[in-house]
Structure 1
Amino acid sequence: MKVIEDRRVRRTRSALGAALVELVLEKGFHTVTVDQLVERADVGRATFYAHYRDKEDLLVWVVRDLALDRVRVMPAVEQADAGAEGIAELPLLHLFQHAERERPACQVILRGEGDGRALREFTEIIGELAGDVFRSRCRQAGVQPRVPLEVVARAWTGEVVGVLSWWIEGGTGLSAAEVTRHLCDYSAYGRMWASGLSDAPALGSREAAPPPRT
């Protein structure tokens, strides 16, 4: 009985989440009403309030559910036998592929709908995940970070969320794999190399530095 109830709750929440995403993309968050949500999801008004305080609460649930969906499969992605470079790249590739599959929800979140609360929640979740990854890698390598890892994680998150916001709207001509490779190159080689202003990749990059000019 418990399993059946859990499935019903999940179906109800998913229906309301999908209704919110659809309506926000059609009308904008501030014009969407609870009455419109329950009608689109085909649930009762009392059912809505049994799960959520208001539509803002529902939007935050959409963010957390999206993040949880990604987290569920991350261990398998990170453990993939892809070598040292692939391990660093695969989680980022998965983030973009996951965003592509969930494009409507990501558009609502990354546009800052709901006074930006959902975007802040999303950014916080990604930042915490990034911090965990950086701390784990430092422990495994037995090294001390030169910059506080909180700064590293937030800087990385800001760059990734910024590119994701731009890319998810479409029209870039870049696939998930291509934009991931560009971000990895940018991260490994540095801004000056990426801009074409420096020939030599940053220290520790995947490319050997070119010989000095004569």
Structure 2
Amino acid sequence: MKPAQDRRVRRSRRALRSALVDLVLEKGFQAITVEEITARADVARATFYAHYRDKDDLLVGIVRDLAEDREQLLPAVAQAQARGFTGLPVRYIFEHAEQERDVYRVILRGEGDGRALREFTAILCNRVEQVFRERAAQHGVTPRVPLDIVARTWTGELIGVLTWWVENDTGYSAAEITAHLRDLSVYGRVWASGLAPSDAPGAFDSSGTAPAADA
């Protein structure tokens, strides 16, 4: 493809995606049509169908664009692995969501049939599980909990917080929310809630014996 044609394609795709996001936030995904999307984008219908099958395919395309460029989703993975558990990949996700808040709102709301959100979740989860496995191998450790469970738990928590953060004025910056999530990951929920490990229900005492269950 010639450079000029390539630039036109990118412009058309950007315009279509921007139009979709704007219309979804105005009317909801189910209420909009391809004709409305192309009119808002000032793009011919033939151009739309040259790139996408339907509006659902366009919505999923937005997710895939985020994933295709790893520098937009998890650019700091290699840096984080080299420096330890920094939280940098999470911070970049929040910073990217801050810049593209409307796009993330549409995805995280599960607009359409939820396919875009499922794809977003799967892409992120698969990448995170890979990072956990690489980190375990690098340090020569055996995970105490299966890493597919760890990755899905981590991803679910991140998406839950991210959804709340992009939909509301929480008062937390990307750096602040990342710091809290990092501490939660490192120290756990018991520590985060202000308790000592021995205060947790079912905790082991200093001898390593679990307390008897309440009658």
TM-score strictly above 0.5: yes
**Aligned runs of 1:18-33 on 2, under 5 Å?**
18-33=18-33
Q: From the CA coordinates, give the structure whose radius of gyration is larger.
A: 2
2:129 to 125, 128, 131: 131
Q: Does the CA contact (< 8 Å) of 1:127 and 1:153 recur in 2? A: yes
1:115 to 105, 113, 116: 113
Aligned mates of 1:9, 1:29 — CA distance in 2: 24
Tell me how many residue pairs correspond in the alignment: 199
**Aligned runs of 1:11-22 on 2, under 5 Å?**
11-22=11-22
Report the Cα offset of residue 52 of structure 1: 0.7
Aligned mates of 2:43, 2:138 — CA distance in 1: 49
Report the Cα offset of residue 80 of structure 1: 6.8
Aligned mates of 1:123, 1:107 — CA distance in 2: 14
Which residue of structure 2 aligns with residue 48 of structure 1?
Answer: 48
Aligned mates of 2:104, 2:140 — CA distance in 1: 36
Tell whether 2:194 aligns with 1:196: yes
Aligned mates of 1:65, 1:77 — CA distance in 2: 18
SS at match of 1:190: helix
| AA in 2 matched with 1:54 | D
Q: Does the CA contact (< 8 Å) of 2:76 and 2:89 recur in 1? A: no
Identity level (%): 62
Report the Cα offset of residue 79 of structure 1: 2.2
Aligned mates of 2:130, 2:5 — CA distance in 1: 34
For structure 2, list consecutive stretches of 5 or more residues without a partner in the other structure. 199-215
2:92 to 91, 94, 117: 94
Report the Cα offset of residue 194 of structure 1: 1.0
Which residue of structure 2 aligns with residue 171 of structure 1?
Answer: 169
Aligned mates of 2:115, 2:121 — CA distance in 1: 10
Q: Deviations over 1:30-83 (max 9, x none)?
A: 0011110000110111111111110000000011112334x1354556327984
Report the Cα offset of residue 84 of structure 1: 2.4
Change (3 A) 1:62 1:175: same
SS at match of 1:143: coil
Q: Deviations over 1:154-190 (max 9, x none)?
A: 1100000000000111221111111111111111111
Q: Does the CA contact (< 8 Å) of 1:78 and 1:91 recur in 2? A: no
| TM-score normalised by the chain length of structure 1 | 0.86
Report the Cα offset of residue 149 of structure 1: 1.2
Aligned mates of 2:76, 2:169 — CA distance in 1: 31
Cα RMSD of the aligned pairs, angstroms, is 2.2
Q: Deviations over 1:115-166 (max 9, x none)?
A: 2111111111110110111111111111222222111111100000000000
Which residue of structure 2 aligns with residue 7 of structure 1?
Answer: 7
| AA in 1 matched with 2:161 | V
For structure 1, list consecutive stretches of 5 or more residues without a partner in the other structure. 201-214
Change (3 A) 1:128 1:102: same
